[in-house]
């Protein structure tokens, strides 16, 4: 298997950044295939911290970085991010960055609508990142989006813009907002177009060439399977398909290109935003885990909700996404706990479930059934081989592996790249 697809197997924030960085350093191309600048990946390379939202992680090491058609692209956010990363000494050219010319754009009107809806929803809000992701995907499937390739045809864009704005004006009127200023929007697009068009191309063609040459491709997923618009905790999800299959459709390569599917799994559970979370801990144990794990969102700075490891959810994610092996991260955050718990099933209205039911109300009522295991007082931080781990931590990892019915390919024991225990190399296996 020459290629690797990395996906989050929980609600995002599983620690994909470090693993993706390690894999990106050995890949010939890194491809983002869904989501947008709602993602946040922190890379630490040679002591320098890079915060990426939209740019694929390969960009820092000069590897060909591709933004696929499955992504929704905010061109102004991209320009800011490129300027920031270039300011850190990274060169970004059309040699190392390619953007799909059929990628839909996120416009200021999408951000407006995201904010208006969330405010109007009050307590029922989804807790989005406010980046306009959902409204941009709606316009894509509604067949009225402005796409990257349209930026090369601004002189004939007016009818398209009229159609899009007519739709948004009606929605905005419902929120008591003025119509979209079309002339100003067209002017903004005119101004940003040359910057985006520099990188625009049919990326499926470029990737086909790369693949023919036998190169290793890393598909970099954002968010997590439980935020998938079909398979996640709907409606408290993002608006894209976050599962591994999207790597193919969101880049223009076939389903046989995804290779080894590496599911990133945190040794406990976190979530940002609203929605069901059966193993959530609202006590001092959760507080302690959140503090030790620095559980604050990279993009919005919001405090993450924290809970015990939920084997039911991860088993479901691994099955849905065809995970070949998992990378277990942040095991060191559990160091020093007297006992650790794993959720092995749910109780719902007198019945036992070994999966998360689809309805939001059922999900909210699921009561976790726990298995308790002894914790460990020794430190796992920085361990680089299985032999360095305390016996209780090994038992915990083995139990997780059994319950999720998927092998552990690697264990991460600190944010440092080398603090990793490798059982199976995704690029070789
Ligand atoms: P949206 O993607 O901004 O529409 O947000 C929808 C839901 O997905 C919210 O609960 C967000 O907190 C969550 N979300 C979006 N992107 C991420 C991410 O990169 N990590 C974790 N949660 C995310």
What pLDDT is stored for residue 303 in this prediction? 92
What pLDDT is stored for residue 348 in this prediction? 97
Ligand 1 pocket check: which of 35, 238, 239 to mutate, most ligand atoms within 8 Å of Cβ? 238
Ligand 1 centre from 158 Cα, in Å?
A: 32
Tokens 């479901």 -> residue: 316
- Residues 13-38 have pLDDT tens digits of 999 988 998 899 899 999 999 999 99
**Is the pTM above the cut of 0.85?**
yes
* Contact residues of ligand 1, CB 6 A cut-off: 12-13, 38-40, 126-129, 131, 133-134, 222-223, 227, 236, 238-239, 272-273
- Which ligand 1 atom lies nearest to the CA of residue 227? 8
Domain boundaries, the chain: 4-101+200-260, 108-196, 265-422
- What's phi and psi for 271, nearest 5 deg? -155, 140
Domain 265-422, CATH homologous superfamily name and number: Adenylosuccinate Synthetase, subunit A, domain 3 (3.90.170.10)
* 335 assigned to active site: no
- Residues 103-151 have pLDDT tens digits of 999 999 999 999 999 999 999 999 999 999 999 999 999 999 999 999 9
| Active-site residue, selected from the candidate residues 37, 41, 110, 168 | 41
- Residues 285-306 have pLDDT tens digits of 999 999 999 998 777 788 999 9
Which contiguous run of DSSP H or E holds residue 315? helix 311-320
What pLDDT is stored for residue 297 in this prediction? 79
- Residues 386-414 have pLDDT tens digits of 999 999 999 999 999 999 999 999 999 98
Percent of the residues in the chain that have a pLDDT greater than 90, as a whole number: 91
Ligand 1 centre from 212 Cα, in Å?
A: 35
C-beta separation of 388 from 371 below 8 A: no
Length of the chain (residues): 429
Q: Where does 4-101+200-260 sit in CATH, by number?
A: 3.40.440.10
Ligand 1 pocket check: which of 11, 12, 20, 38 to mutate, most ligand atoms within 8 Å of Cβ? 38
What pLDDT is stored for residue 18 in this prediction? 87
What pLDDT is stored for residue 1 in this prediction? 56
* 13 assigned to active site: yes
Residue 47, pLDDT above cutoff 90:
no
Closest residue by Cα to atom 19, ligand 1, is: 39
Cα distances (Å, whole numbers) of residue 118 to 38, 232, 240, 251: 15, 19, 18, 30
Q: Which CATH architecture describes the domain 108-196?
A: Orthogonal Bundle (1.10)
């Amino acid at each position: 298997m020459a290629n690797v697809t990395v996906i989050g197997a929980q609600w995002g924030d599983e620690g994909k950044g470090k693993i993706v960085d390690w894999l990106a350093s050995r890949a010939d191309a890194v491809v983002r295939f869904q989501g947008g600048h709602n993602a946040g990946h922190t890379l630490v390379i040679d002591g320098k911290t890079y915060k990426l939202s939209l740019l694929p992680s390969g960009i820092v090491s000069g590897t060909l970085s591709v933004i696929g058609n499955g992504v929704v692209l905010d061109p102004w956010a991209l320009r800011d991010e490129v300027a920031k990363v270039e300011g850190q000494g990274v060169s970004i050219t059309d040699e190392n960055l390619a953007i799909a010319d059929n990628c839909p754009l996120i416009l200021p009107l999408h951000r407006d609508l995201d904010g208006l809806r969330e405010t109007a929803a009050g307590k029922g809000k989804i807790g989005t990142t406010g980046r306009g992701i959902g409204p941009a995907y709606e316009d894509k499937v509604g067949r009225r989006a402005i796409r990257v390739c349209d930026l090369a045809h601004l002189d004939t864009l007016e009818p398209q813009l009229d159609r899009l704005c007519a739709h948004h004006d009606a929605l905005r009127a419902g929120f008591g907002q003025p119509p979209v200023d079309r002339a100003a929007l067209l002017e903004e697009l005119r101004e940003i177009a040359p910057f985006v068009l520099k990188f625009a191309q049919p990326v499926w063609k470029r990737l086909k060439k790369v693949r023919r040459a036998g190169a290793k491709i890393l598909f970099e997923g954002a968010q997590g399977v439980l935020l998938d618009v079909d398979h996640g905790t709907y409606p408290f999800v993002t608006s894209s398909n976050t599962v591994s299959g999207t790597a193919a459709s969101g880049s223009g390569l076939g389903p046989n290109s995804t290779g080894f599917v590496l599911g990133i799994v945190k040794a406990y559970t976190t979530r940002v935003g609203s929605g069901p979370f059966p193993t959530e801990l609202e006590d001092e144990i959760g507080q302690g885990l959140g503090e030790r794990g620095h559980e604050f969102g990279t993009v919005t700075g919001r405090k993450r909700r924290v809970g015990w490891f939920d084997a039911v959810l991860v088993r479901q994610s691994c099955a849905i996404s065809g995970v070949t092996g998992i990378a277990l991260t942040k095991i060191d955050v559990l160091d020093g706990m007297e006992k650790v718990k794993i959720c092995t099933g749910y109780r719902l209205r007198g019945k036992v479930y070994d999966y998360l039911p689809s309805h939001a109300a059922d999900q909210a009522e699921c009561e976790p059934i726990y298995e308790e295991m002894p914790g460990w007082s020794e430190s796992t931080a920085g361990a680089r081989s299985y032999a360095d781990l305390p016996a209780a931590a090994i038992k915990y990892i083995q139990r997780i592996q059994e319950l999720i019915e998927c092998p552990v390919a690697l264990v991460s024991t600190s944010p440092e790249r080398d603090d990793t225990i490798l059982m199976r190399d995704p690029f070789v296996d």
